[in-house]
Amino acid sequence: RRYQQDKRSNSLECTLVKQGELIPIKSKDIRPGDVLKICKNDKIPADVVLLSTSMDEGACFVETSELDGETNLKRKAALTLSAGWTQVEQISHIVGKITTEMPNERLSRLDGRIKLHYEGPEYNYETLREESSTGPAASSRTNEKAISTKYDSGMTRGTSDNSLKSLATSGKSIIPRSSIPRSKQPQQPQDEVAPVTMTNVALRGSWLKNTEWVYGVVLYAGVDTKMMRNLKNTGLKFSTMETRLNRMIVAIFIFNAFLLISSMCFAYVGTHSTYLRAPLAWYTTQTGAEFGTSPTDARIFVGQLMNFYVVYTFVIPISVFISVELCRVVQALWMIWDEEMRSYNDGPLSQAEQEELALEQEDDPIGAPLKRIRASRTASEATTPIALAKNAKPPTKKIWKRGPLRLLRKKKKAPKNWTRMHVRNSNLNEDLGAVEYIFSDKTGTLTRNVMKLSKWHIGGRTFHDLQQPGSLGQRMRDPSISDEEYDLLMAFCRNIAVCHAVLPCEDSRTGELLYEAQSPDESALLEALRDNGVVLKAKTKDSVTVEIFGIVTETYTVLKVLEFTSDRKCMSVIIDTPQGIQLFCKGADNVILARADNIENDPLMVRQLNSTVHRFSIAGLRTLMLAWRPLSPEEYRIFDEKYTKAECHIGDGEDGSDDREELIRVACESIEGRLRLLGCTAIEDRLQDQVPETIEYLMDADIKIWLLTGDKQETAINIGISSRLISPAMKILVLNVKVERDCRLVLEYFVEKIKERERDEERFWQDYESSGKVGIELPERDRYALVVNGESLAFVLGNEILEDMFLRVGTNCHSVICCRVTPLQKALVVKLVRKKLHKVTLAIGDGANDISMIQAAHVGVGIEGMEGAQAARSSDFSFKQFKNLKRLLTIHGRYSYLRMSKIIFFSFYKSICLITVQFWFGFMNGWSGGALYDENFLTLWNMVFTALLPITTACFEKDVEEESIEQYPKLYKAVKDGLYWNTLTMAGWGIASFWHSGALFGGIYGSLQHGVVNGASETIDIPMVSFFAGSLVLITVTLKMLLMISHYTMPIFLALGISMVGYMVVFIGLEVVGMLEPGVFAAMHSMPLYYLGLLVIPVACLLPDYTIAYVMRQYFPSDAQIIQEDQRLAKMKQRQLAIAAASGSPQGDDGTNGGLGGGKGKKRDDLEDQEAMVDSRSTAARQAPQDSSAPDYEEEEEEEEEEEEEEEEEEEDENEMVGVVVQGPASHEDEKASIGRQ
């Protein structure tokens, strides 16, 4: 599959510009310096600097879904120096040099500069344009000079022979292409210099859209492209259980060495000890010399050592790794096929996804169910296809019906347009069942990331846009409005209309004006502004057109765009208006207020605006503050020179850093001062479905949840309250300081508060135990929540003392919220908890700023949201909604942890039991090194005889049903705390293996002491003993496995039957082909003692195991065993009711115990109350619709659903259990009281 992808990528057809002609080449032949022509809907084969495009402004649009997962179009611009040259002949005579940074993985930044000049004859522009319509003309001269690429290290990357000389446009770099006259040849400049940024570069892996063609020079090719640099290995993740498995393998190697050393010691003593040496027969009295042999002790030692080594090697369960991997694959399939983990997909397939889908269907149809299969949909080329008819039927095949495991489980047909979850790293399946800490982003993870403007605040007046849509526009149309207020409102609207990175486009089918934006905040602002009568109509690289109330159309010249960065936290645009040059700025409130002019702004208005922003934040709204300032031509000229110099700067690397970004930041801050405040906006981002319920459930399961967000403190706290991360009754500890000394003092105070709370909690539990009450909890007023801002967190991270104090406080708080944090701080917090607390961590996010956090955690979960798929592609598991995290952890994670624990313990148990019998056999054969088992039996032991049953168990085992886990969050806590993997359990399996091996050998030895004979009156020989021993060991370990299974299913019984029948068939077959001594199988099955041994010896071995299991379950049950009893009683009562209904007799309480022994009477009494109540949550979950956002399906789908419902009803009628729900406590408090009584 990887080969097919590489072959397709390397064979991509490209068009090379060479000596005035267009020549097709393969993508594998592209070199830096080549000039390519890329046409509409083509995939860009390398990182290219755009020279010119088919659009008048030198702009083009690309889709970067393969790079960052975003399906919205991004605007790119050709170099202004060459934007006017659109013909092959002109492009062929450009000569230049590009100096840029070394290849790296940064997708959002590039530092470089280009020098261009023209070497060629004079051309009439109109003539060339006519030639281009009929075909390219051959160049009249050949010039081997070309555009070369040079990295900033001073080393020339190379000059391609295929690249041609080119022409640079005349004029200064600020002159737009549209201003170049079409009727005459521009002047020929010499060595024009311009900066090269990401705006001028189209990256490999993106697709050219809505642009007929572009010319570009290759900057990076092959493995040097940014896409390939981002494909580097980020490091493998291994689960904590796999780490334990590796330690167990080391321990088993030590045990193997112990067996070898012990056996050699016994062999040496037996050989050299006169007391232990048996008398020799008369025919062995000759000396070795008489027979011509004289073996030495060394030869004997080596021979015996190799004999023991070959036999004891089978104690190492190498097959456990294969079994574990197979089980992980099946567990991943359960996750992918889980209908509860799916989400409705209302977006289109990107170009990259369509290509991936075609590859999957062509090359790997069987594996297709593991991939995301969505319908391909076509839309207008005028805009990103974000709209889809609700009842559209996607042309996709129901391929999830195929596959080798389709018969193992009946699955409902997945509705079309639904997306299943993705499992990218099945190695971490079991870690999902042991998560202690969850680190979550807020926007797009807890919230929908679907922005709606809620309120405007301008000049002391607040407009409620959600409650009164269009209220701002109505005020501006009000005849009574003063000129001063109108100018203020108009400046506010102008700021929103020009200060953004949004692309307005019109859907060619509907004519609707759409806004394509990377930030949903910006599109929400412009849509709200449009609803108020101020419409952004068009935007080019150099101008913005705004229509006001459908009457006036204003066009502003864009002089400079100062883009938003996470460091600056603001964005500015400088435009030329009839009133002069003006700068409009928007950004975070703390950044804008810090740059506000103290003289021009009214202090009262500033305080009121700050108070309003605070009030909006408390309401959980996302806020932006807007400002502006006028600029004189001289101020702009000085700034333009400074900014252009910073853009063209490339660090020499002598000090180990590149200061270009810092120079740009300084230049921006020099012009973004003395701002005049306009107002603020408040955008609503609602929580996703079931987020509060999910968080509450996870916290009840004793999982710590830390919220890491870049939002304001007030907004973060409000989201914490609305999501139930913080309850109103909790005490909130806020760490918000400006200096490190204060940070230390505040943390010391918090530590004292925690110690005081611990003392109060100790007294509380003492009173609790003395009162004899059950089902009570520590009051929430005695719980704490910690809130830390990014500035204070910077003091903590890196300081060992403060880190320890911070963790002491954070781990003792009910929840932790870190606000105003950077992506790096998110990752550092995760690493801090992972390193110092040694707990299993999980990070979940949806944006590119969450990638470092996701990769730093043990388990990374990505939300496939509005911010693209970068986070999802960097994660181990991904889905679309936060609520799916609950099921992923508590159902799939818990089951995976349980199943993997059992298969690992059983794999070691059966190997130790098998070989330890061989060790005991040494006492019987005088430590001669002879094998007890046949070599074929040892070879097939792990591969055939004991492989299928544990693997099947690890795929289908359950201790409790899914509904019970959803009702009782403490069931997850029990597994996380080591219910199925602890020292006692490990010791129990080890002791069982030694006991069983000893009992088996004792049974075998006892059976052979009286000269056992077979049915032909022949004494039993070694082949018969081997068969007898192998059969006993196989039956014993199989019964042990069956004893540990809680959920028996048909595949388990099928695996059991195949294993047992396969054992006999294999031995008969080996006898037939002559690999075993003939007649052994028939002779053993003719001996009554053989059958008696098969019955008595395994039962004697397992009798202690059964006794211990019974005592532990009866008198010391775990929470899961109590729930199992509840489920069993419910099924028994259902069966009794069904029998009573069939017989027509009323069923009453007859005082019996339902067939239970008297020892379980008390447990049954405690559970009877739970049987009588209906679990409202399970019933609601079964009756609730799947998703309110899902569209209505077509008639064919409705018929399919009706058929499924009829099939389910028929199955229910056959089982005579219609509408019965397993009963549990109605609340967590009842659950705790019930478990406490047990």
CA–CA gap between residue 947 and residue 584 (Å, rounded): 70
> 812 in a domain, yes or no?
yes
The DSSP result for 710-741, as a single string, is SS-HHHHHHHHHHTTSS-TTSEEEEE--SSHH
Q: In terms of domains, do 19 and 168 share one?
A: yes
Among all residues, which ones are annotated catalytic?
441
Examine the pLDDT at 1221 and tell me if it is beyond 90.
no
> Which pLDDT value is given to residue 1010?
62
Q: What is the pTM of this model?
A: 0.71
Examine the pLDDT at 1171 and tell me if it is beyond 70.
no
Q: In terms of domains, do 750 and 872 share one?
A: yes
CA–CA gap between residue 1078 and residue 1090 (Å, rounded): 18
Average pLDDT over the chain reads: 77
**How confident is residue 125, by pLDDT bands cut at 50, 70 and 90?**
very low
pLDDT per position as a tens digit, 190-236: 567 888 888 889 998 888 988 889 999 999 998 888 888 766 555 67
> Which pLDDT value is given to residue 1017?
62
CB burial string 944-964: b at 16+ within 10 A, e below: ebbbbbbbbbbbbbbbbebbb
> Which pLDDT value is given to residue 70?
63
> Which pLDDT value is given to residue 739?
87
Q: In terms of domains, do 880 and 917 share one?
A: no
> 428 in a domain, yes or no?
no
Q: In terms of domains, do 960 and 1103 share one?
A: yes
pLDDT per position as a tens digit, 1000-1024: 999 998 887 666 666 556 677 888 8
Count of domains forming the chain: 6
**How confident is residue 870, by pLDDT bands cut at 50, 70 and 90?**
confident
Residue with tokens 């993106």: 206
> 691 in a domain, yes or no?
no
Q: Which of 830, 861, 888 is the last residue of a domain?
A: 888
Examine the pLDDT at 1164 and tell me if it is beyond 50.
no
| Nearest in space to 330 (alpha carbons), one of 369, 364, 360 | 369
**Cβ–Cβ < 8 Å for 78, 58:** yes
> 67 in a domain, yes or no?
yes
CB burial string 1149-1177: b at 16+ within 10 A, e below: eeeeeeeeeeebeebeebbeebbeeebee
Q: In terms of domains, do 710 and 818 share one?
A: yes
Q: In terms of domains, do 709 and 660 share one?
A: no
Q: In terms of domains, do 400 and 476 share one?
A: no
What CATH code is carried by the domain that includes residue 55?
Answer: 2.70.150.10
Tell me the percentage of the chain whose pLDDT exceeds 90: 35
Q: In terms of domains, do 555 and 584 share one?
A: yes
1164 has binding-site annotation = no
Q: Which of 174, 197, 229 is the last residue of a domain?
A: 229
> 1110 in a domain, yes or no?
yes
709 has binding-site annotation = yes
Q: In terms of domains, do 156 and 206 share one?
A: yes
442 has binding-site annotation = yes
Half-sphere exposure of 1184 (CA within 13 A, CB side): 11
Q: In terms of domains, do 502 and 609 share one?
A: yes
Contacts of 881 (CB under 8 A, 6+ apart): 343, 688, 689, 863
Residue with tokens 């509060």: 692
Q: In terms of domains, do 560 and 653 share one?
A: yes
Examine the pLDDT at 599 and tell me if it is beyond 90.
no
342 has binding-site annotation = no
Instruction: Pick the more confident residue, 189 or 47.
Output: 47
Examine the pLDDT at 313 and tell me if it is beyond 80.
yes
Helix axes 948-956, 894-925, angle to 10 degrees: 160
Whole domain around residue 63: which residue ranges?
2-229
Examine the pLDDT at 265 and tell me if it is beyond 50.
yes
711 has binding-site annotation = yes
Examine the pLDDT at 570 and tell me if it is beyond 80.
yes
441 has binding-site annotation = yes
748 has binding-site annotation = no
Degrees, nearest 5: CA angle 764-766-771:
95
Tell me the percentage of the chain whose pLDDT exceeds 70: 73
Average pLDDT over residues 1178-1207: 44
Q: Which of 862, 888, 914 is the last residue of a domain?
A: 888
Examine the pLDDT at 1162 and tell me if it is beyond 50.
no
Examine the pLDDT at 304 and tell me if it is beyond 90.
no
| Nearest in space to 525 (alpha carbons), one of 549, 565, 495 | 495
Q: In terms of domains, do 942 and 809 share one?
A: no
Instruction: Pick the more confident residue, 1134 or 906.
Output: 906
> Which pLDDT value is given to residue 954?
93
> 328 in a domain, yes or no?
no
271 has binding-site annotation = no
820 has binding-site annotation = yes
522 has binding-site annotation = yes
> 933 in a domain, yes or no?
yes
pLDDT per position as a tens digit, 363-387: 433 333 333 333 333 333 333 322 2
| Nearest in space to 346 (alpha carbons), one of 1208, 1165, 1187 | 1187
**Cβ–Cβ < 8 Å for 679, 609:** yes
**How confident is residue 823, by pLDDT bands cut at 50, 70 and 90?**
confident
**Cβ–Cβ < 8 Å for 588, 819:** no
Length of the chain: 1238
> Which pLDDT value is given to residue 651?
59
> 974 in a domain, yes or no?
yes
